[in-house]
Structure 1
Amino acid sequence: MYYSSYALLTIILIVICNYDVFVKDDYFEILEDVGPYRHYLCAVVVFLITDTMWGVLYEYHLVALCYIDTVLYFITLSTVLYLWTRYVVIYLKTEDKIGTIIMKSGALAAIVTIILLIVNFFHPIFFKFTLDGVYVPKVMRNVLVTIEVVLYFSSSMLAFYVSRKQKNNYRFRVVGGVGLLLTVFGVMQFYVDKLPLSTIGYTIGTSLLHSFVLEDEKKESNRRLKRLLEHEKKQYEELEKTRKIAFVDALTGVHSKHSYFEYEKVLNKRIENKEGLQFAVIVFDLNNLKKINDELGHDCGDKYIKDGCKLICNVFAHSPIFRVGGDEFVAVLQGRDYLNREYLTKTFSRMVMNNTEINGVVVAWGMDEYIVEKDDDYQAVFERADKKMYENKRQLKEKKVFNDV
C-alpha cells in the first residue's frame, strides 16, 4: 500500500502547490505559456491517479480492474510525455525543425502506445497478468520507457542549448534540469518497475517548475508591469505639465488664450444645443501698459499685468479668468457671479476709480449678457462686451486727463 500512499500524497502536493494554475486565472493574465503547462499538470495528476489505483488494485488482487488501470496508466504516461515535449517546445519558443521533431515524436509515441495497447489485449506485448494475478512487463513496455527516456533527455538538451543561445536564461536551464531529472528517474523505473520512481520524478519536477519557472515568470511580469505603470505615470505627469503650459498663462497663473478658445467651443456647442444657458462676458483691458513698459521697463510692466489680473480675480473669484492678450483678459460669469454681476461690476468699477486717484492699476472693462432669443454664438456676446470695454477705456482716459489738469 505504500506505493499507492506515495502516489496519493504526490497528487495532494501537486494540487496544493499548483492550485493557482489549476483554478485561478492569475497566471493566465500575465503569462502566455501557462495553458500548455496546465495541460501537462492535468495529465500528470491523471497519471498519478491511475498509479494510485494500480497499487490498491494490485494489492487486493483485483486483476480485471488492475488490467484496465494498467492500460490507462500507459496511455496517461505517453500523454504526459507528449504534453511535456509540447510545453517545452512552446515555452522555449523553438518551434523549428528540432523542436517540431521532438514534439511530433511525443505525439507519435502516444498514438503508437494506444494502438499497441489494443493489440496487447489480444496478444500480450506490453504487459500481462498471470493466472495468480502477478504483473509481468513485456518488451513493448520497455520500448515505451526507452522512448520516454530518450524524449525527456532530448527536451532537456534542447532547453540547455536554447538557454546558452539566449544569454543563459536560467529558467530554461531549470526546464532542462527537470527534463534531465525525469530522464534519470525514467531509467531507474526501467529497472525497478515495482517502485513509484516516476512519481518521485514528477513530484520533484513539478515543484521545481512551479518555484523557479512559473513564480519567477510571475515576478518578472510584475516587475515589467510596475515599470510600465511607472512609465505611464511619468508620461501622465509630462502630459499634465504640457497641458498646464498650454492651458495656464505662465505670467499670471490664470487660464491661457488656448484654454479660452477651448472654453468658447464648449459654450458654442451648448448654445447650439439650446441648453438655456445663463452667462455674461466681461472684457478687460489694462490702461497705460505700453507707457509703463517704455518708461519703466518690462519687469514693471509684468508686475502691472499681474496686479491687474489679481484685481480681476479677487472680485470675480468664482468665474474662469482668461488672459487673451498682452494686457487683455476675459471673464465668463456663470452661477453665483452671474447672479451677482451688477454688484460685482459696481465693486470692480469703484476699485478701478480709486486706483485712478492713487496711480494704481487701471483696468477698463465692458460686460454684456447672453440673450437666448438674440445670440447664435458666443462671439456675438463678446463683441458687445468688447465694444463697451472700449467705451469705458475712453471714459477712464478722459477722467485721467481731467485729474491731471
Structure 2
Amino acid sequence: MYYSVIGILATMILLIENHDILFNSDSTTQMPSWKIYRNFLFAVLFYYLTDITWGLFEHLKMADLLYVDTILYFFAMASGVYFWAQYTVAYLNDETAFGKILVFLGRAVAGMILLANLINIFVPIYFTIDENSVYEGLMLRDVMLVVQIMLLIMISLYAFSAIGRQPKEKKARYRTIALFGFIMALFLTIQFWNAYLPLYSCAYMMGTCLLHTFVINNERQEYQEMKKMVTDLKKEILNINDKWSKRD
C-alpha cells in the first residue's frame, strides 16, 4: 500500500501546479506546443492513476484487477514517452527528418506495447501475474523498457543539440527539456531492476516540477508580454484611425 503514496502525492502536485493548463482553455493553451504539452500532462496523470491502483491491487492481492491495471500501466508509460517526443519536437519548432523520426518512434513504441500486452492476455510474452498477485516481467518487457530508455535519451540529446542555436534567455528552457529526458531515463533504468519501487512516478514528479518552473512559467510570461504589446499596438492604431477620421 505504501507503493501508492508516491503516486497520490505526485497526482496532487500535478493537479495543483498545472490546473490552468489541464482545465482552462484560454488563448495560451491554444498554442500548438502547449496543446501537445496538455496531452502530455494527461498522459502523466493517466500513468499516476495506474501506478496508484497497481500498488492498491497488489497490496489487496486482487490478481485479475492487477493484471488489467498492469496492461494499462505499460500503455500509459509508453504514451507519456510518445507525447514527450511530440512536445519536444513541437517546442523546438523543428521540421527536420530526425524530429519526425522521433515522433514516429514514440508512436510506434506505444502501438507495439499495446499490441504486445493484448497478445499477452492469451500467450504470456510480456509479463505474468500468478494467483498470489506476484508480478514477473518477461524478456519482451525488458526489451521494450530498454527501447523506451534509449528513446528518452535520444530525445534529450536532440534537445541538447539545439541549445547552442538559441538566444541566451531560452538556453535554460532547452537545458530543462533535455534534463527531463535524462531524469526519466535514469529512474526508469533503476526501476528496470526493481519493479516494486515507484521510481518512474518520482521522476515524473521531479521532471514536471522543473518544466513548470523553468519552461512553462517563462513561456507564459513571455506570451503575456507579447499579448500586451499586441493589445497596445491595436489601441494605438485605433487612436490614429480616430484622429484621421476626425480630420476628414
Alpha-carbon offset, residue 27 of structure 1: 5.3
Q: Is residue 48 from structure 1 mapped to residue 48 from structure 2 by the alignment? A: yes
Deviations 1:38-96 (A, max 9, x none): 11111111111111001010011111110111011111111111111111111111231
CA contact (8 A) 1:30 1:218 kept: no
Residue of structure 2 equivalent to 1:57: 57
Change (3 A) 1:60 1:205: same
Residue of structure 1 equivalent to 2:90: 90
Residue of structure 1 equivalent to 2:244: 243
CA contact (8 A) 2:63 2:130 kept: no
Aligned letter for 2:141?
Answer: R
Classify the secondary structure of the residue corresponding to 1:72: helix
Alpha-carbon offset, residue 125 of structure 1: 2.1
Deviations 1:143-182 (A, max 9, x none): 1211111111111111111222233522222111111111
CA contact (8 A) 2:10 2:205 kept: yes
Aligned letter for 2:56?
Answer: V
Q: Is residue 77 from structure 1 mapped to residue 77 from structure 2 by the alignment? A: yes
Alpha-carbon offset, residue 14 of structure 1: 0.5
Alpha-carbon offset, residue 118 of structure 1: 2.1
Residue of structure 2 equivalent to 1:17: 17
CA contact (8 A) 1:21 1:27 kept: no
Classify the secondary structure of the residue corresponding to 1:128: strand
Alpha-carbon offset, residue 97 of structure 1: 0.9
- Between the aligned partners of 2:73 and 2:136, the Cα distance in structure 1 is 15
Residue of structure 1 equivalent to 2:185: 183
CA contact (8 A) 2:85 2:155 kept: yes
Q: Is residue 110 from structure 1 mapped to residue 84 from structure 2 by the alignment? A: no
- Between the aligned partners of 1:30 and 1:137, the Cα distance in structure 2 is 40
Alpha-carbon offset, residue 139 of structure 1: 1.1
Structure 2 spans left out of the alignment, 5+ residues: none
- Between the aligned partners of 1:207 and 1:109, the Cα distance in structure 2 is 26
Structure 1 spans left out of the alignment, 5+ residues: 248-258, 260-405
- Between the aligned partners of 2:131 and 2:240, the Cα distance in structure 1 is 82
- Between the aligned partners of 2:228 and 2:28, the Cα distance in structure 1 is 18
Alpha-carbon offset, residue 235 of structure 1: 4.3
- Between the aligned partners of 1:200 and 1:193, the Cα distance in structure 2 is 13
CA contact (8 A) 2:92 2:159 kept: yes
Residue of structure 2 equivalent to 1:198: 200
Deviations 1:316-365 (A, max 9, x none): xxxxxxxxxxxxxxxxxxxxxxxxxxxxxxxxxxxxxxxxxxxxxxxxxx
CA contact (8 A) 1:182 1:198 kept: yes
CA contact (8 A) 1:156 1:178 kept: yes
Residue of structure 2 equivalent to 1:208: 210
Residue of structure 1 equivalent to 2:157: 157
Of 138-147 and 166-175, the range deviating more from structure 2 = 166-175
Change (3 A) 1:107 1:95: same
Deviations 1:249-305 (A, max 9, x none): xxxxxxxxxx5xxxxxxxxxxxxxxxxxxxxxxxxxxxxxxxxxxxxxxxxxxxxxx
Alpha-carbon offset, residue 211 of structure 1: 2.0
- Between the aligned partners of 2:87 and 2:104, the Cα distance in structure 1 is 12
Change (3 A) 1:44 1:239: same
Alpha-carbon offset, residue 29 of structure 1: 5.6
Q: Percentage identity across aligned positions?
A: 29
Classify the secondary structure of the residue corresponding to 1:33: helix
- Between the aligned partners of 1:76 and 1:38, the Cα distance in structure 2 is 15
Matches within 5 A, 1:2-401: 2-26=2-26, 28=28, 31-167=31-167, 169-170=170-171, 171-236=173-238, 243=244, 247=247, 259=248
Aligned letter for 1:243?
Answer: W
- Between the aligned partners of 1:92 and 1:210, the Cα distance in structure 2 is 17
Aligned letter for 1:175?
Answer: I
Q: Which has the larger radius of gyration?
A: 1
Q: Which has the higher helix share?
A: 2
Q: Which has the higher strand share?
A: 1
Deviations 1:120-146 (A, max 9, x none): 223322111234331111112211211
Alpha-carbon offset, residue 237 of structure 1: 5.3
Classify the secondary structure of the residue corresponding to 1:140: helix
Q: Which has the higher contact order (CA 8 A, sep 6+)?
A: 2
Aligned letter for 1:181?
Answer: I
CA contact (8 A) 1:54 1:69 kept: yes
Alpha-carbon offset, residue 119 of structure 1: 2.3
